[in-house]
Structure 1
């Protein structure tokens, strides 16, 4: 028995199987009918409509066999897919490629096989429509043509089912996006209206007069705080618009990642103190990288703002600078955490986790989306993962190529 060949288009066809969602539902009535027709036309006791991926066979339709679901791939079918053309084995016991295979030596003791590959419009052979028998046999030209027609129908059905699934997925995503946008507008309205209402109220009180100096100064500080809150939100929206339109400024230079992290930590320290959080920085003396300091600081501040917002009073936020390669900044928190299904969506525009909604936490749902776009601008990436016990860790990773030699340290190679 020879080793089964691998199709030249293995990667492409496995990707297309996934894109068409072809392996999700098996034994469908339409494919059952094709298998029954193949068995009838070819006068064979067994017929299959099956897809093959990663040495496994996925049965879509069957006749004369109780095969269901996922099974080891039929070796004949692997050869059919690799050859990308009709394959007929008149007597497998006389064929050195198959005579020692368990499907030949044991049940169902296959002797005859005829299979037609299912080739898509993209040119990938996804599987076969095939017939088998425990007796040597041979198809005539009319039967071969019928098997070809049935294989063409089968692959057309797979493509149609796949496109229908993709269309449904697009509609679902559009609906979800519309819902997220509506939620964003609602949150934005709240985030703007609340401080604006506060500013207007306190201004009226100050204008009416009659306040002692201490009270008036306190009201003015509240007005200043709320105006700063609005300005921050407007700047965030402008930054998001610039990043999406690819018009945001990007002027990279030699930057000390440790110093940048220290600046960001100092900026959010007052907010951490208000919640009695431990805010810790763990950094080497210097980690030189090629980056846009302002944009990278914006990304880090967005992550820190999230960490502080979703960490309960008395918790901790740790910022760790990793020299790499690749260089990165990790932000660990002991907060409410994120559900596993949310981890891949937290960087989507307007997306807010269930925890954010339940806690009625302020925000518009675009902060982490901004973070991801800034890291992509640098050729890096942002990702979030659950901590072992509680909270999450956000990794802001720059490419290894961004790491610069530190002129203040000796060259470890001994060069001058």
Structure 2
């Protein structure tokens, strides 16, 4: 590696502006004072997973690979990035352990910014500090999504070769990997902001913004923990079938869903046709499945939008329990993936929304229906809402 003193020319300023588009030109000029150029030959590890580091890098020329390691130390290529991209941002949030290995594909030229040099400048420029941290946290979130997607792809082939118990064990392993990445972003954000607060760098409006961010991220982690408990409850146990009153299971499921989502305020109506008999089912499993459907209805609907639960006998040998919402609906292309583990709907707007949770509720519901020799029906219209129906055989 060769280090070259930086002259803040126009090309350098444009590179920093490309990497950090939210920063003003004045902030870019300020940031350039902490940057130096470095050159690396091909097939060189700039950062290594698990090692400590205090440097943020912006790629000026060349291409690098982002690599993570599986439990068996197998290398997984997550992504390749080119000029204008940056990495090593964890150093600026008080997290010095590298979460991935960065390896050059070809000779590369990079801008490097040391945490110590950056903080000396940022202490006197709260606007630069706030804006850069906000963009870096968003970048971490997007990177984590890419890692999760790659882990899912690597595990798909394995899932088809296992028996039911082996499949569930593999899913649980994948869940832990996904959970760790989903928790890392809010934990890193919290740690970074607390470090800045303790050092006195956050004051006035900046302090309140930091506290608001910490609160949001704590709430996000609580939601993930609740999802973890659901998966734990689902993990294979021998079902215990008995004749159950549908109303009793519905009330239990609804109360559980409201409790998990902090007493969600959406009004719920329950309509049970008079000819509906008892169902022969595993109480625990059916409660988990219904709870997952009700939670989704709450989660993907506007605040206080009504949710309807309808119980009927569409066929002589079948009982239907339908959960109807007025939420965002599901695009036809997404319907094919609804029951995949860890799949979550994302609302594409000017600022995309990835809804909270780990994407396992419908996987749980399908698992339960398979055990009951039942099925799940889905009908949905984008922008108008969705209906999920559990169809249970009467015997």
TM range (shorter): 0.3 to 0.5
TM-score scaled by length of structure 2 = 0.43
Larger Rg: 1
TM-score scaled by length of structure 1 = 0.41
